[in-house]
Amino acid sequence: MIAADRVDYPALEHEIQRWWDENGVLQRYVHRNDQSDKQYSFLDGPMTANNPMGVHHAWGRTYKDLFQRFKTMQGYRQRYQNGFDCQGLWVEVNVEQELGLKNKREIEEFGIARFVELCKERVFRFARRITEQSIRLGYWMDWGNDYYTLSDENNYTIWHFLKRCYERGLIYKGHDVMTWCPRCGTGISNMETLSEDWHEVSHLSLYVLFPLIERPGEFLLVWTTTPWTLAANVAAAVHPELTYVKVEQDGQIFYLAEERLNLLRELRGRDKGEYRVLERLKGEQLVGWSYRGPFDELPAAQGVSHRVIPWKEVSASEGTGIVHIAPGCGREDFALSKEFDLAVLAPVDEFGIYVEGYGWLTGQSVSAVARPVAENLAQKGLLYRSQNYRHRYPVCWRCKTELIFRLVDEWYISMEQLRYEIMEVARQVTWIPAFGLERELDWLRNMDDWMISKKRYWGLALPIYECQQCGTFEVIGSKEELRERAVEGWEEFEGHSPHRPWIDAVKIRCRQCGALVSRIKDVGNPWLDAGIVPFSTLDYRHNRDYWRQWFPADFVTESFPGQFKNWFYALLVMSTVLEGTTPFKTLLGYATVLDEDGEIMHKSKGNAIDFDDAAERVGADTMRWLYTSQDPEQNLRFPRIPSREDVERAVREGVPVRLSEKWMLVRRALDKVWNIYWFFVTYANIDGFDPTRYQLAVERRSDLDRWILSELQQTILEVTASLERYDSAHATESLQNFIEHLSNWYLRRSRERIWKSELDDDKLGAYLTLYECLTTLVTLLAPFVPFFSESLYQNLVRSVQQEAPLSVHLCDWPQARQELIDEALVQDTHLVMRVVGLGRAAREKAQIRVRQPLNTLYVRLPSQADQEAVLRLKDQVLEELNIKRLELLSDDSEMLAYTLRAQARVLGPKYGPLVQKILAMLKGLDAHAASEAARQLREQGVLKLTIEGREITLTPDEVEVIATARPGYVTAEERGAVVVLETTITPELREEGLIRDLTHYIQDMRKRANLKIEDHIQLTLCADEELAAMVQRHAAELQEETLADSLRVETTPIAEPLPGELYRETLSPTSPRKLEGYTVQVIIAASPSSAAIH
């Protein structure tokens, strides 16, 4: 066994990875449970193969890996299939950028076939990259057996799904106003627009005057934030019940809502004067008035009439209370056009360019016309005022272009009925956190029909064939069906994937009218691709038995922001339609990765952290420990990683990169494990101890050993139970607690045992116990920190047991041994720790350091059982506190005082209002009265009080007696536990303390002399007469502690070097380290018995 005293995590991880590769460990892991009759079905949510992994992806992938590894170690057979999401606009946009293409027209000029091929290439390129990064994270999947949503199988399974929807009559073509990206040239549904895609932007808003036809010289005052839509205006809406006013200002007469009069004051600048209200009237009185449109002179507006309509959604909180209506440019507007039979003007094409018929606007982009429109209106005398207006406005989630509203034809799956079926299915799932169900149901209740089409190139070819002649459409459900129906173009398509442009060569004949029918040009919504995977990856179409074996998945996990309306939603929709049941049993959702300051990570903000940088600077295991320790409901703040300069400096100096405090905290538990491990290995090597060659029954081991073994069993139980319910944060907490106990108490208390020279039962027990704790701990840690645990396992286990499993990841999950759990011993040991804590506090108050021995510690605990336990384990207390005797304080000890505390909880219901009086009385007792009361309660079992003439009898469970220390003694206390320190330092005690100080200094000098722990020395001390005498009296223990083969004590300093001298130092009253007023020269020389000295 070997071990370094410090870990370089990234270096360790690379070394372990190499070893795994060389030994084919991953393959063995994947096939370890092939013959098992238990199985566990994990379904991977496909990661988009369009960019490298960020640290936020690593969070989810760590969960996926953790739970699969846990199940593997428990013996479950699994599929370990990783998935890549491949199709969709996100890939197209990046390929466009790579090619320098600016819009769809340029893509078509470039060639759809070439473009689609490049999209595929990009996907495969990033799939490879992500695979490498995942492996770096220690993510163990059946690499090479991944699924890709671009696969024929995935696409045809979606066809199958759509066919089923079609058969149920759920698919329809909608003609509606959609949010539309003029750059991408496609509709963007609200499903795709995340909250962060609403940007704060400034737009030129216009207050426009619409001239009323029947009332010459009078106008409607209308406000709009989208001047480009004015050319499509056909109506003005008022709230029928709202009050409007007719106003005169600067010789102009116009109408607006009364509530908005303050607007006139706000807008009053140098160019606007005072106003007068001429008349008040109800909105409904305005309804039916006609007016001239602001762009009536344009050809497109010819024959369009404009009038005032009623609309209850009109609000008087913004604008003028009169709303400009352009049915071709707004969702609600379009709905109103149906209700009031309004003309519909669709002024722009798919790129947001005005079409023919709009005069000087034709050919211009909507994004460029705000100011020209304002100027044009001003010339016509129709502009009241223009004003910059800041508001939140949706942008394209992919290219961040501002969206517009545009009238288009898109394809939908109706959710009218389906949503209720899906809600039932959603209830079958165990949602973690539990609020996930409510979120999903909320989305299901409120969502619109699912828009599945996109007017793009790289994606699922929607198998919808719409007859241009008779207007009917059909959905094709499989490749075979298409072949059957194909009347031309099959040869051209054959051999290609079912993508544009190849698929579009195939034509079928209309069942209704016999016309030749093409596929619609649209591709599918990418969430169809990801939602079908519980079917497509399990060979649903060809092998139902296999599918049934793995469906539904036991577990899925993804980040929940967004996924309620994306993946989770798509999964539920598709499975509901196909099978009427849930595709997954348990869902673990987790929050968002933020930067150290709690800000969202953005490449553009410069606070995003590359996965590769993080892995190389802090280590994959460190990151995994951070992720698995995190409460998944809370956003995770990812600490800053060391800079490039920090790394370069570390490389120059040949040491591991120094991490920030935050990272050190994250990794503290792992570093502690390493330290324990290093301690064990160091001493086992010195002793030549081989753990496989010894045995010692647990009953014959010490209290300390049996205690930590009991803690270990409980830790196994807790970690197992936590992981079973997908609660990794609780699992890591249990592990951390155990590690603390092992490090801070067990090892601390065992040092002496291991340090002593002979291998007796006690030392053997310590070794065997520590070894078992370490090896079990390492196995428990394996799914969390696979590299770190493997490294320790190889060294601790494989180096001495050739028959042990090759890798820790091939080991069985530890089983708790119930017979080793000793609840009482655990409690008692925790009590001892508490008493020791109090002892330390008392020492601090007395300002007596622990190295100074003291004679007596008096202890008083609330219960008899506790007192007995402390007596039984008193050696641990005394050793730890460096005190010679422990005695219990009797109830009537003069060192004790008492306070009484009423149990309001018990007394309240019994005495009602009187409770406050009882409380006050007990609180007000002086020390003497309190002691008397405590005695009465102790001796008579009751306490009698008189309050307001009423006799009250309190029982022991109604009043708590708390022992405290009487002033004048050095004590510490906590909830009725009291320790009192006997602080007299006799000459003997003082001498012992001095020797201990001296021993400590000599140990430190050994370290400075670069001696190994096991090196022996020859020690020479030249001291004052008095100190020399003390040293002589304690020579034996001093020699034993410092491994001094010889001890020479002089009373005069030695100037000349001694033979083999390694180190010398003089302690004096003026040196930094001192022994009270004494002076002593310490000289350390090599001992002939020590073989190697450096």
Partner RNA sequence: GGGCUAUUAGCUCAGGUGGUUAGAGCGCAGUCCUGAUAAGACUGAGGUCCCUGGUUCGAGUCCAGGAUGGCCCA
Nearest CA among 578, 753, 512 for reference residue 168: 578
Pairwise CA distance, residues 483 & 490, whole Å:
7
Least separation, in Å, of the C-beta of 917 and RNA? 9
- 3-class DSSP state for residue 773? helix
Task: Decide: 56 and 147 in contact? Cβ < 8 Å.
Answer: no
Residue choice 98, 297, 424, 442 for contact with RNA (CB under 7 A): 442
* Closer residue to RNA in complex, CB, 403/659: 659
Segment holding 232, helix H or strand E: none
* Closer residue to RNA in complex, CB, 483/1008: 1008
Task: Decide: 731 and 663 in contact? Cβ < 8 Å.
Answer: no
Q: Which residue has the tokens 């329809």?
A: 172
Residue choice 152, 349, 424, 448 for contact with RNA (CB under 7 A): 448
281 to 320, contacts with RNA by CB under 7 A? 317
Least separation, in Å, of the C-beta of 212 and RNA? 30
Residue 1073 binds RNA, judged by CB under 7 A: no
Could you give the string, one character per residue 824-843, with x where binding to RNA holds by CB under 7 A and - elsewhere?
A: -------------xx-xx-x
* Closer residue to RNA in complex, CB, 310/837: 837
Q: Which residue has the tokens 């830790």?
A: 715
Residue choice 224, 722, 734, 899 for contact with RNA (CB under 7 A): 899
Contacts of 439 (CB under 8 A, 6+ apart): 560, 564
Task: Kindly list the distances between the CA atom of residue 130 and the CA atoms of 84, 119, 205, 469, 487, in Å, as whole numbers in the listed order.
Answer: 9, 16, 46, 48, 42
Nearest CA among 906, 909, 900, 911 for reference residue 947: 911
| Sign of the torsion angle spanned by Cα atoms 86, 87, 90, 93 | positive
Task: Decide: 288 and 340 in contact? Cβ < 8 Å.
Answer: no
Residue 431 binds RNA, judged by CB under 7 A: no
* Closer residue to RNA in complex, CB, 216/912: 912
Part of the chain binding RNA (CB under 7 A), chosen from 170-178, 293-301, 432-440, 1026-1034: 432-440
Residue choice 449, 874, 1015, 1030 for contact with RNA (CB under 7 A): 1015
Least separation, in Å, of the C-beta of 685 and RNA? 12
Residue 643 binds RNA, judged by CB under 7 A: no
Residue 686 binds RNA, judged by CB under 7 A: no
Residue choice 205, 537, 682, 1081 for contact with RNA (CB under 7 A): 682
Count CB-CB contacts under 10 A for residue 863: 11
Burial of 335 from C-beta contacts in 10 A (0-12 / 13-18 / 19+)? middle
Task: Decide: 952 and 918 in contact? Cβ < 8 Å.
Answer: yes
724 to 743, contacts with RNA by CB under 7 A? 740, 743
Residue 262 binds RNA, judged by CB under 7 A: no
Pairwise CA distance, residues 802 & 798, whole Å:
6
* Closer residue to RNA in complex, CB, 810/833: 833
Least separation, in Å, of the C-beta of 260 and RNA? 15
Least separation, in Å, of the C-beta of 718 and RNA? 17
- 3-class DSSP state for residue 404? strand
Residue 634 binds RNA, judged by CB under 7 A: yes
* Closer residue to RNA in complex, CB, 55/657: 657
Interhelix angle for 1035-1042 vs 987-1008, to 10°? 30
Q: How many residues lie near RNA (CB under 7 A)?
A: 82
Least separation, in Å, of the C-beta of 1011 and RNA? 4
* Closer residue to RNA in complex, CB, 78/852: 852
* Closer residue to RNA in complex, CB, 120/763: 763
Count CB-CB contacts under 10 A for residue 1089: 12
591 to 630, contacts with RNA by CB under 7 A? 598
- 3-class DSSP state for residue 428? coil
* Closer residue to RNA in complex, CB, 268/1000: 1000
How would you classify the pairing of strands 1017-1023 and 1044-1050? parallel
Pairwise CA distance, residues 888 & 819, whole Å:
32
Residue 661 binds RNA, judged by CB under 7 A: yes
Residue choice 466, 596, 671, 733 for contact with RNA (CB under 7 A): 671
Pairwise CA distance, residues 754 & 273, whole Å:
96
Part of the chain binding RNA (CB under 7 A), chosen from 31-39, 436-444, 775-783, 1069-1077: 436-444
Compute the C-alpha angle 673/677/680, nearest 5°: 145
Count CB-CB contacts under 10 A for residue 438: 11
849 to 868, contacts with RNA by CB under 7 A? 849-852
Part of the chain binding RNA (CB under 7 A), chosen from 55-63, 722-730, 848-856, 1047-1055: 848-856
Residue 612 tokens, joined: 């590769």
Residue 4 binds RNA, judged by CB under 7 A: no
Least separation, in Å, of the C-beta of 626 and RNA? 13
Part of the chain binding RNA (CB under 7 A), chosen from 284-292, 366-374, 673-681, 767-775: 673-681
Residue 568 tokens, joined: 């989770």
Residue 1076 binds RNA, judged by CB under 7 A: no
Q: Which residue has the tokens 């799932």?
A: 429
Residue 844 tokens, joined: 């601090």
Could you give the string, one character per residue 514-553, with x where binding to RNA holds by CB under 7 A and - elsewhere?
A: ----------------------------------------
* Closer residue to RNA in complex, CB, 167/879: 879
* Closer residue to RNA in complex, CB, 513/655: 655
Residue 174 binds RNA, judged by CB under 7 A: no
- The most distant pair of C-alpha atoms in the chain lies apart, rounded to whole Å, by 124
Part of the chain binding RNA (CB under 7 A), chosen from 88-96, 102-110, 215-223, 1006-1014: 1006-1014
Least separation, in Å, of the C-beta of 1047 and RNA? 15
Residue 912 binds RNA, judged by CB under 7 A: yes
944 to 1003, contacts with RNA by CB under 7 A? 962, 972, 974, 996, 1000, 1003
Least separation, in Å, of the C-beta of 6 and RNA? 5
Residue 393 binds RNA, judged by CB under 7 A: no
Contacts of 503 (CB under 8 A, 6+ apart): 461, 493, 496, 519
* Closer residue to RNA in complex, CB, 112/962: 962
Least separation, in Å, of the C-beta of 1071 and RNA? 16
Q: Which residue has the tokens 């081989």?
A: 690
Question: Edge-to-edge, what's the strand order for the sheet holding 854-860?
Answer: 883-888, 854-860, 977-981, 970-974
Pairwise CA distance, residues 147 & 79, whole Å:
12
Part of the chain binding RNA (CB under 7 A), chosen from 382-390, 486-494, 847-855, 926-934: 847-855
Residue choice 747, 889, 897, 954 for contact with RNA (CB under 7 A): 747
Residue choice 565, 617, 701, 753 for contact with RNA (CB under 7 A): 565
Residue 532 tokens, joined: 């079908």
Number of H helices and E strands in the chain, helices first, is 38, 41
DSSP one-letter string for 1031-1076: HHHTHHHHHHHHTEEEEEEESS---SPPTTEEEEEEE-TTSSS-BT
* Closer residue to RNA in complex, CB, 11/1029: 11
Q: Which residue has the tokens 């942008």?
A: 395
Residue choice 338, 390, 392, 483 for contact with RNA (CB under 7 A): 392
| Sign of the torsion angle spanned by Cα atoms 593, 595, 599, 602 | negative
Residue choice 942, 1013, 1040, 1066 for contact with RNA (CB under 7 A): 1013
- 3-class DSSP state for residue 915? helix
Residue 128 binds RNA, judged by CB under 7 A: no
Residue choice 269, 913, 941, 1059 for contact with RNA (CB under 7 A): 913
